[in-house]
Amino acid sequence: MNIQIKLYSLAISLLSFDGFSSESIHTNFSLSSGLEYDSQLSVIELDQLTEQSDTAVKFKGKANLNWQASPSVQVKAGYAYSTKQYQKYDEFDLTINQISADVSKNLSHFKLGTQYFLADADLADKSFLKLQQASLYGSKLINNRYFFRLATHFKHKSFALVSQRDANAIGASADGFIFFNQAKSFVSLSLSTDSQSANDKTFDYDEFRLQNQYSHQYQVWGLTQKIQLALSYLERDYQHVTPSIAQKRFDIRQSAHLLWQLNLNSIFSLHTKLEYADYQSNIASADYTEQLASVSLRQAFKY
């Protein structure tokens, strides 16, 4: 089942609805750099855990394009590059390249869209993981205050050195937002499910995720600021016995993060973030707590 063929067929169906004209194209770019402290270095995708902490230098660059191809059709594309370089333990250095594409059409009562996402990750300067996801979604904005989105998605994960973890997954998600403060602030609730089938049946699982988020923008001393709080709960139920523990694996992951953003001017902003994660599992290498703290300076440009 080729995930890209699914995407292309969905996109063609959307784009065939009407003709196009280059009405407007907008682009934006951003660069950010900073430091991140991690109390518990790990590679969560491989269940690798160390008792060591370290501080990493982080850099991220993003470029996005938004094209209003016709009065009812919108096209978006994006590229992001991020790297994290640790001071002591360079075996955890991580570099990720991401590309995304989104095509949507406003119908009479809702928006229909299709989306593609590709992430290519290197670990310690070696090829590590490729993730592809294709989605079909429908969304609705009511009174410029309430926003709802339903989606189904197809995923494919490919590991460079551990092909037994290569997997396909199918899932669904539901998101709801309530906007206030002239749409500069919101509260949201997201639910999602995934069912994964891997090359090695040991890694087959069903997953449920719940996330709640609060974001508020305000001004102090003439400077725009934003505070954001997010809570996340994930439950992963493995479908087959894991030989090392002679039973089915079961994971619960809970996390909370608090972000504060200070806009220094129209281009520069300062970002700080605190995060706490509690990972519970009957696999010892996936059972731990983690604290992260980061600070970064961001530059943003619009054209």
Question: pLDDT tens, 41-71?
Answer: 999 999 988 889 999 999 999 999 999 888 8
CA 77 → CA 67, 99, 140, 145, 192, distances in Å?
A: 9, 8, 21, 26, 24
- Judged by DSSP in three states, 256 sits in strand
- The answer on pLDDT for 22 being more than 70 is no
R_g over Cα of the chain: 21
Task: Give yes or no for a contact between 253 and 288, defined as CB atoms under 8 angstroms apart.
Answer: no
Here the tokens at position 206 are 């069903």
Q: Which domain holds residue 270?
A: 3-302
36-48 confidence digits (pLDDT tens): 999 999 999 999 8
Here the tokens at position 92 are 């955890």
- The answer on pLDDT for 166 being more than 60 is yes
Reported as half-sphere exposure (CB side, CA atoms, 13 A), residue 145 has a value of: 3
**What's 196's domain CATH number?**
2.40.160.10
Q: Can you tell me the distance from the alpha carbon of 83 to that of 56, in angstroms, rounded to the nearest whole number?
A: 9
Give residue 181's region: left, alpha or beta (phi > 0; psi -120 to 50).
left
As for how many domains the chain has, the answer is 1
